Copies of this chain bind each other. A is one copy, B any other.
Amino acid sequence: MKIAVFHGSTRFNGNTEYLAHHVVPKEKGSHIYLRDYNVQPIVDKRHSKEGFPHVEDDHTQLIDQVLEHDILVFATPIYWYGMSGPMKTFIDRWSQILRDPDYTHFRGALEGKKVYLVLVGGDHPHVKGLPLVQQFNYICQFFKMSLEGYVIGQARKPGDMAENKHALEEASRLIKEDYH
């Protein structure tokens, strides 16, 4: 199965990325760093006559990556007990894709994909990160994707994650499927 990791950190080589690279090693799968893509915030035009305007940015490149892979890993630091801004902006625009005549297959194509989460926070993430797991689960339900598992890491300062052997081992065993 083909796997893609969507990295939502704004920092290079931060704790979330470190943990995510233990879930899927750098040299395997497709690693997509959202901070390298220009994605505009959604302007909600679902109910306007003219519909959504064409947006000149990189969002459809990301959507094409979603479509090409069977397993999707969403790796995000926990900011204020939610996903990072780049991750939310990326997903919010899916509302526009659902109405894009070039992507009428989008919703159906997501059905059956397997999803994993990598979440890293500083303030009791094993408890206070659970609403975020539940939010992702509702997103998966909407598309009939299957939330297969998640790993939650605690980290405050750069380098914390490298010390957390327990989380790293858990991460390395998270994905149950064979992938490349």
Contact = CB atoms under 8 A, between A and B. Distances in A.
Contacts of A135: 80-82, 131-132, 135
A41 interface: yes
A147 interface: yes
Interface string A70-87: 000000010111111110
A105 B157 CA distance: 23
Contacts of A147: 126-127
A30 interface: no
Contacts of A80: 88, 91-92, 94-95, 135, 138-139
Nearest to A150: B126
A88 B91 contact: no
A139 B42 CA distance: 24
A173 interface: yes
A58 B92 CA distance: 23
A83 B82 contact: yes
A168 to B, nearest CB: 11
Contacts of A131: 130-132, 134-135, 138
A60 interface: no
Interface of A: 9-11, 14, 41-44, 47, 77, 79-86, 88-89, 91-92, 94-95, 123, 126-128, 130-135, 137-139, 142, 147, 149-150, 157-158, 166, 169-170, 173, 176
Please give me the 9 A-B residue pairs with the lowest Cβ-Cβ distance, nearest first.
Answer: A131-B131, A131-B134, A81-B138, A81-B135, A41-B85, A10-B44, A131-B135, A47-B158, A130-B130
